Amino acid sequence: MRNICMIVSYDGTNYSGFQTQPDGNAIQDYLEKAIEMLTGEKVKIHASGRTDAGVHAVGQVFHFHTESQIPAERWGLALNSRLPKDIMVTEARDVPLDFHSRRSAKRKTYRYTINANQYPDLFRRNTELHHYGKLNVEAMAEGLRHLIGTHDFTSFASRHSTKPSHIRTVYDAHIDRDQSMCRPGTRDQGLIHIYITGNGFLQHMVRIIVGTLLEVGKGRKKPEDIATILEAKDRMKAGPTAESKGLMLWNVEYENFDAKY
- Distance, in Å, from the CA atom of 19 to the CA atom of 145, rounded to the nearest integer, reads 31
**Closest-CA residue to 127 (of 225, 54, 42):** 54
Of these residues, 11, 29, 52, 225, which one is catalytic? 52
Known active-site residue 98: no
Q: Is 132 annotated as a binding residue?
A: no
CB proximity list for 132: less than 8 A, separation 6 or greater: 116, 117, 118, 119
Residue 179 and residue 181: Cα distance in Å, rounded?
Answer: 5
Please compute, for residue 59, the number of CA atoms within 13 A of its CA located in the half-sphere on the CB side: 17
Binding-site residues for substrate, please? 110
Binding-site residues, please? 110
Residues with active-site annotation: 52
